[in-house]
Structure 1
Amino acid sequence: MELAEALLRLLGIIGRATGCLLILEDLHDADAESLSVIEYLVDNVRDLSVLLLATSRPQACPALDLARSAAQRRAAELLEPAALTPAEVRSLTAACLDTSPATVPGQVIDRLTHDADGNPFVVEELLAAMISSGALRRVQGSWQLAGVLDANIPNTVVRSVSDRVDRLGGQTRQLLHIAAVLGQRFPLPVLQAVSGLDDRSLLGHLRAATDAQLIVPDTALADWYTFRHALTADALLVEMMPTERSRIAQRTADTMEALHQVLPEGWPQLVAELRITSGQHPAAAVLLADAGRRTLAAGSSRSALALLDRAHQLDPTPEILASLIHALAEGGQLDRALELVNHLTPTAVRQDEANERASLHSRLAYAAIMARQFDDAVSQVESARRILGPDAGPEQMATLDVVEARLIFNLPGDRDERLATANRLARRAAEIAEREALPEVACQAWQLLSSLARSEGYEVADAWLERILSAAEEHNLPAWRIDALMRLGVNEFLRTGTVSRLHQGRRAAQQLGSIVLGLSTEVSLGLPYVMCGDFVAAADVLERCESPTFRMQNLGELQTVQVSQAMLAAHQGQRRNMDDALKRLRDSEGKLSPNKTLVLGMCRAVCALLEEDPGLAAQELDEALAWELANPTVYYLTGRYGLRLLVEVVAGRAGWGAHDEVVEAPTSTLRWNQQFVLFARAILHGRSGRPVEAAEAFEAAVEAAAVFPMAAHLGRRLVAEAAIVDGWGEPAVWLRAAEEYFHTAEVPAVASACRALLRRAGASAVQRRAGRDQIPAELRACGVTVREFEVFELLADHPGNQGIAKRLYISPRTVEKHVASLLAKTGHPDRAALSGFARQLLA
């Protein structure tokens, strides 16, 4: 799947400006892995500026099945080329002879039209036979008949090829028979080993076949050749007796297995085809199954599935069926995997069989958890426990403990009991894995323990992740290294607001070349971009990730994209867009939502505040708190430790007791939470008659909020309202800054509220006139109006009130009022200082 996704992205980039045509020929010879990639392209290329044109013979084969299936679901159009017309045969013939159509002898065209039946390959083959027989010759630059065309020239490719091969001698024929059994492309080392020819004889026969235009060197691989036409190999096969084909296939397969070290990747699939030809189906199934398992381990679940499916069709042994079930679960076909697992015998005979069976059930349980099919996950865990019994080995016990811990964490029940049980099982799994040297199982357990430890403090959570990072580097587990880097990066952002380690994880994924891991690191950047107010970057990365996560059926990442898209809309006050994103999220989540508190606290509550509806925001935050008190969670930015406290303090429903209870939690120090706690503290100090302490808390809040501009200005707006009532701080300054931000961000409700509060504070409200965007930000922050800025611009040249009044068509008295207002707003002592500031700012 990763190769297919990478190819799809490459085609999208190539075709973005001018379009792209991709031609794939002779798919009837394509292997299962190639067809899997092609099917992925067919299903997903529609939205790109790419045309995919593929050719295959009309014979029964997997490629034709793929084409018909794609046509039925309207992902492709199936075309059957018509036979060449006589005029087209003439044009093709002229092109082959490198001459003009008019100079080709008429008798040649008549015979080709009659015998080739409009098939361009047969046209070329018959034309080559005419030339090789001497009946058609080039004389002084023109093609002429040197005699009567033989009436017995075959009208089938089989006879045409056979005649040409006969002229090359018996040994060459035998060599080409071996090559034909190998397929369209064949390696010279295998050909030489099977034929027993020495180097000189082998090269001589190859040269003869090449001169006869039967074969050509393969430009893609050294020491490989390919038949010039696909039907040439078929023609050679047709003239062979079945027993001869079977004997050559078996001998060739034996030779290839002995020479596998000099063969390129994919040789087991070719040997499997030879075993099938020789009737050795069980041996072919073993080869295909082994290839499928290796492909699955490399992360290509879709290709692995194609190989294992065919192996199962050839020889449905329990071992192959188990591998097929594993591939189905990894490839997102969980329902089929759960159906097939029932076909396995209920109990295993040997202990190693029992261990393998239990591991299979554990993998299915984990896949079911990721797909949020918890009933199926419970059933699979019970099956694994039943098979293992009391004599379970440490590896099986540890693996199952991790899966069961995740399951318990997600299922309904008493919150504290679920947390305690999940923690106990994960710790036991980690201890066993360390003792028994099972690094991957240990990483699984440490990952879960890190998530559970967040409530104790993110430093504790990071300690578990550092252990994953160390083990991954020690045992060469690149995927786990990237996972640890990504999670450490998320935690670093939550503590400090910086994304440097997240970018480090993304670079590591790119270096590894993993599409899945690279996509995961991209997705993890969406939420930080939203929180930091970089809405353009957030929209770009989320849009870029949405389609691939959907195509690859990566449900967890898709839901992260969707909740981040809802948050992106909410943090801009765009309720309709937020609701649309949340509807998509609900469709993908099902009944049990792991994102409940994120939706309530980071989406709905924030959107309500940006609509100036604090009552609705409080309801959303209360619901988030109630859910969190009843269920374990790994999300701690959803209001309980920050935003809810501020909303309740602003409304007068919370005081120092609620504040002190929140700050006792380690998660209140996360930077997103910390800003709201400090804003709430400032209000409480102000109400307690401590203006100095209130101002200090406010400055600390602004510093904490520096990386979160939307939240910072929302905090300014909320605190300013209380400061006006309690008489402390500089609420007019805060409101002007907040009004400017929300007006520019097109959040009218909050911008309007800021202007109303400015008037309540006795300060001049911002006048939204045309030309305000020309005022420098420094002056806008001071509340300078458009008319005042016009006066300010003219002050730079030292004109008196009369000159300015004449230039602006206003009275000198009005100019004097504007100058006085400018002095007050900018804090300059006199007109001379103000004029100097004007020259400096406007330079």
Structure 2
Amino acid sequence: MQWPGGTASFIGREAEMAALTRHAMAGDGGLTLLTGEAGSGKSRLLAELGDRAEAAGLRVLRGRAVPGSGAFRPLAEALVRAAPPALARDERLAPFRSVLAWMLPAWPAGAAPSAHLVDPALVLGEAILELLEVVRSGSRCLVLLDDLHWADEDTLAALQYIAPALGDVPVRIIGAARSDERRPDGLAHLLTRREASHIAVPRMERTELAVLARVCAGDVLSPDLESYLVDAAGGLPLLLEELIAHLLGTGALAGGPGGWRAVRDLAGTVPPGFAEIVHHKAALLAREHREVIVVAALLGQDIRWELLPAATATGRALVAASIRAGAESGLLTVDAAGTPRWRHALTREAVLTRLSAPERADLAATVVDRLDGAGAVEREPALLADLHARAGRPHRAAELLRRQAADHVRAGALAAAADILERAVVLAAGDTGLAVAVRVDHVRALTLTARIDDAVAGGDQELRRAPEPGRSDLAAALADACLAAERFDDAQRYLREIADPAGPRALCLAAQLTLGRGDPRTAAELADRAAAAAERTDQPDLLCASLEVVGRARRRSDPRRAGEALRSALRTAEEHGLAPRRIRALSELGVEDLFEAGDGAALRQAEALAVEAGMLGTALGLALQQTALAASTEGIVDAAARAQRCADRATRLRLDGMRGHALMWVARGRVFADRRDEAGAILDDALRLSVSPVHIHAARHQLAGLDAWLDDDTDGAVAGLGRAVGTLRGAPGANATPIWGEWALLATIADPADGRAREELRSSDVGVQVINRAAQQLADAVAAHHAGDADLAARFLADGRALLVRTPFHRALFESFLTTADGLVDPIATLNSALAWLATTDEVRMVRRCRVLLRRAGGAVPRPARDRGPVPVHLRARGVTGREFEVLGLVAEGLDNPGIAQRLHLSRRTVETHVGRLLAKTGERSRGTLSHWLAPRPD
């Protein structure tokens, strides 16, 4: 595809324009950053690129950042015109409707954003990626974002998240930023990203500026005039254009046969700097118009024309006339839609330099009082806070910044909220009560963005001088921060600072601390007391939090009471509209599905709600729980594929602990997929990332044991699984993993007379997990068979198998264990049954192990190629192969052997052999009764 008018170029910017064109038209997506000094022409390049791209048929979205405009401003401006509210009905955007409504105000609001978000800017990143896919409608898309040096950190964090994901999406984001201003941390990080390309716009050479000057003037320039213009511009084309326009507009130049020449000494009559040009333009305005323009500059980079009548105490007509005068003077521009803008960001800054510091403070006080009186504080807390600060009223500014930060937290812009509160902390100094309240908010915002060290450093300093009641609030916030990072000793220290240790807040935090330290019994008692106190004092949020701890703490010891507590938390959350607490309760209730091998409906519902509310961290935790469920219902190898997707998302969300947990499942999959040489390094990564290494250590021992079993080493298997259980004994608060059942069953098979493993399983509370209960029954069957009690063994065997009906992987694994228990089960029928299910999975080593055991038992082992046919499980359990199933189907159709041979291109003798094997495997006496085996049957 070629650009229309491809021969056109920017004088002195041909190389930059060509580079931008290549990036915009590249086949892949990505992020490009354009940097240069103010006035170097970045915005002009972006505008021209956008026009050319639209003419070439690309979808172009444009946005820009402005100072102090709040979170996500450039992204919102780019997307708002391309994403009308009607687009919210698109099914692909269903999970992200509420998230996008934070940024696109016209969209229908959904669930309230959560107080448990990990980093909502990244949540928004996921939503933006999906929205861009919908908006582009199959074509290439170009997103142009100007003035990113003013972008908020949440916008930059979202771009950091989006950048690596654009490689496979035909969307190119091109952002421009000044190189001569202090860069936000997020922008500096973006410039170092491998996924981001960088194009620098340098100052122009003198020869290029001379050519540009002649083009701007439209004629030849005298040598003295050309030299003056080139020197005055200093390599910046914007200043050159402004200077020429100023000289032409003031009559300082005259044309003639030899081109333009100066009619007076320019050094004395024409300002050498851009600010002086702007001052001169402003001075030419009528006084009433100039006053409106100065107030407009004070109100920010956007022309807040709707606020100007109140801010200037004038009428709308005068404001409109002033904007028109500003545009005619060249200070402002008005686009096709009638929206006024500053001609350049430098223009607004230059207007403000006309005022001395006392003049600015006096004007700010006057303007903010007018806006306060007009009720603007509800709509514009950030603007009024800035004006109060300029006017020398820091405490009022701090209060408004608290309000603005609260809005940002509700909108998911946590990084922006933390930055706003950091400024509010400084402004609140001198008012002790306000300073503590601001610091509490700051600690909570930093905690939500996982900046625990910063939260503790600032909060701890404030705590030393904080009076009550703010002291207890701050101590609770600091304790909560330390619990989030599992810094239990620090959390304990802050808990001691809470004035009412018997209050629901202190009790709930103490319960969380005790559970984190591995004492679920005491944690449950504390949480019970916290719940009772929260109910008495009508604090529903604390009640839900306390009941959640009760549910988690009693999950193994008393699953009934745990379920009751979690269901009570769910009801309370629903009654009081506490969406995050409702999702948390559903998440914890979903663990019952995991323990009882349910259908996962509760987990899926909770995950969908978490995504809708923007709680991607919670949603990822729920996806990991579904991975654990899938391990028993779909197989370890298939579950590992799910886990890898979870690990990838955890990487994007920067959730190291969850990535470590996901990698544990990935490693398990590698062992069972016959790629065990990769498992060790994966577990090393998991251990480095995990906040709970006990699970990784246990998984490493478990995999060593199962690897030994798959290699026909029963003693090594028992030893490895025993070490895994030994690791878990020291973590009574850990989930009731099936490792216990695997170890107890295999240890009993290895030595039926040694009942220690079996009895430890029986006395443990890990029986809350159905697989462990099944293993208990099967181990008892092995022991009863060894003792010669065939009837008791048969009952235990039937009960154990019944418990495994919804966990086919563990059913196949345990059945393969049982075939090595001398005489308890028919090994051929049992292994055929296991292979019947395994043949539908990618469990390479399990299939291989069962085939070895089947061959050892004297059973016929079908060739692997034959196992790929769509044979029903009940027939596979009888050893029926894919080819035999084809023959059975044709027998049921009424074909005789010659007809079957002709249909399948086989010899008659081969067909006769297949029919004979079908009769033998099914126990039928004639081919006429074979057809009823085609009827569907339960597994």
- The aligned counterpart of 2:717 is 617
C-alpha distance in structure 1 between counterparts of 2:479 and 2:336, whole Å:
47
CA, structure 1 residues 66+512, in 2 after alignment: closer, same or farther (shift >3 Å)?
A: closer
1:511 equivalent to 2:612? Answer yes
Amino acid corresponding to residue 180 of structure 1 in structure 2: A
Asked if residue 707 in structure 1 is aligned to residue 806 in structure 2, the reply is: yes
Does residue 489 of the first structure (1) align with residue 585 of the second (2)?
no
Cα 1:225–1:522, aligned 2, differ >3 Å: closer, same or farther? farther
Count of residue correspondences: 796
User: Which AA in structure 2 matches 1:175?
Assistant: V
User: How far did 1:817 drift?
Assistant: 5.4
Contact kept, 8 Å, 1:571 with 1:603, in 2: the verdict is no
DSSP 3-state at the match of 1:9: helix
**Which position in structure 2 is the counterpart of 1:168?**
285
Check the 8 A contact 1:742/1:751 in 2, yes or no: yes
TM-score between the two structures when normalised by the length of structure 1: 0.80
**Residue in structure 2 matched with residue 766 of structure 1 by the alignment:** 862
Q: CA RMSD in A?
A: 4.6
Q: Does 2:199 align with 1:82?
A: no
Higher helix share: 1
**Paired position in structure 2 for 1:268:** 381
Q: Report the equivalent of 1:474.
A: 575
- Please state if 1:199 is matched with 2:320: no
1:725 corresponds to: 823
**Structure 1 equivalent of residue 695 of structure 2:** 595
Who is 1:359 aligned against?
473
1:420 to 1:702, Cα distance in 2 relative to 1, 3 A: closer
**Deviation at 1:482?**
0.6
Q: Distance in 2 between matches of 1:186 and 1:622?
A: 71
Distance 1:218 1:476 in 2: 44
Name the aligned partner's letter for residue 220 of structure 2. G
Contact 1:295–1:301 (CA<8 Å) still a contact in 2?
yes
1:197–1:544 distance in 2 versus 1, CA, 3 Å: farther
Asked if 1:106 is matched to 2:220, the reply is yes
Q: What aligned pairs does 1:331-350 form with structure 2 within 5 A after superposition?
A: 331-344=449-462, 346=464, 348=466, 350=467
Q: Specify the SS of the correspondent of 1:239.
A: coil
3-state SS, counterpart of residue 580 of structure 1: helix
The answer to whether 1:502 aligns with 2:600 is: no
Matched, 1:546 2:644: no
Q: How many Å separate the matches in 2 of 1:120 and 1:403?
A: 61
1:798 aligns with 2:915: no
User: Partner residue of 1:754?
Assistant: 850
Contact 1:600 1:623 in 2 (8 A): no
Task: Report deviation, 1:436.
Answer: 1.4
Look up the equivalent residue of 2:868 and give its one-letter code: D
Match of 1:403 among 499, 509, 516: 509
- Once the two structures are superposed, residues 637-686 of structure 1 have per-residue CA deviations (whole angstroms, 9 ceiling, x without a partner) of 3443x333322332233688976875677753643334434444554565
Q: CA deviation at 1:294?
A: 5.0
1:24 aligns with: 145
Classify the secondary structure of the residue corresponding to 1:437: coil
Cα shift readout 1:585-626 (whole Å, capped 9, x = no counterpart): 221346x63536862686555454444443333234433444
Q: CA deviation at 1:87?
A: 7.9
Out of 454, 469, 490, the position equivalent to 2:555 is 454
Equivalent-residue separation in structure 2 for 1:86 and 1:214 (angstroms)? 27
Shift of 1:713: 1.3
Q: In the alignment, does 2:405 pair up with 1:292?
A: yes
Question: Which residue number corresponds to residue 307 of structure 1?
Answer: 420
Say whether 1:233 aligns with 2:348. yes
Q: Is the 8 A contact 2:758 2:776 kept in 1?
A: yes
CA distance in structure 2 between the aligned counterparts of 1:272 and 1:62, rounded to whole angstroms? 23
Cα distance between partner residues in 1 of 2:346 and 2:809:
68
| Contact 1:740/1:781, CA 8 A, preserved across alignment | yes
Residue of structure 2 in register with 1:633 after alignment: 733
- Does residue 248 (structure 1) correspond to residue 248 (structure 2)? The answer is no
Residues 42, 52 of structure 1: 8 Å contact kept: no
* SS, match of residue 164 in structure 1: helix
Deviates more, 1:547-556 or 1:230-239: 547-556
Q: How high is the sequence identity, in percent, across the aligned residues?
A: 25
**Aligned partner of residue 226 in structure 1, secondary structure:** strand
In structure 1, give the amino acid aligned to 2:827: P
Taking the TM superposition and a 5 Å limit, the aligned residue runs for 1:512-527 are 512-527=613-628
Equivalent position amino acid for 1:798 in 2 = D
2:565 counterpart SS class = helix
Please tell me whether the aligned partners of residues 371 and 555 of structure 1 are also in contact (alpha carbons under 8 angstroms). no
For the residues of structure 1 that align with 2:605 and 2:932, how far apart are their CA atoms?
48
Corresponding residue SS for 2:355: coil
Query: What TM-score, normalized to structure 2?
Result: 0.73
Distance in 1, Cα, partners of 2:314 & 2:521: 72
1:183 Cα deviation from its structure 2 partner: 1.9
Q: For residue 633 of structure 2, what is the aligned residue in structure 1?
A: 532
Q: Write out per-residue CA displacement over residues 390-439 of structure 1, whole angstroms, 9 at most, x where no aligned residue.
A: xx275xx3322222233333447xxxxx4443233222222211111222
* Partner Cα separation in structure 1 for residue 793 and residue 847 of structure 2: 24
Q: Compute the displacement of 1:558 (Å).
A: 3.9
Look up the SS of the partner of 2:450 in the other structure. Answer: coil
Deviation for aligned residue 1:824:
0.6
- In structure 2, do the counterparts of structure 1 residues 136 and 738 end up closer, same or farther at CA, with 3 Å as the change threshold? farther
Aligned-partner Cα distance in 1 for 2:254–2:632: 78
CA pair 374-550 structure 1, distance change in 2 beyond 3 A = farther
Structure 1's 668 and 282: CA in aligned 2 closer, same or farther, altered over 3 A?
closer
State the secondary structure of the residue aligned to 2:303. strand
Structure 1 gaps, min length 5: 95-100, 139-143, 413-417
Q: 1:132 to 1:752 in 2, by over 3 A?
A: same
Structure 1, 600-609 or 120-129: larger mean CA deviation: 600-609
Q: Which of 426, 433, 454 is equivalent to 2:534?
A: 433
Alignment check: 8 A CA contact 1:135 1:145 kept: no
5+ long unaligned stretches in structure 2: 1-117
Q: Return the alpha-carbon distance in structure 2 between the equivalents of residues 77 and 246 of structure 1.
A: 43
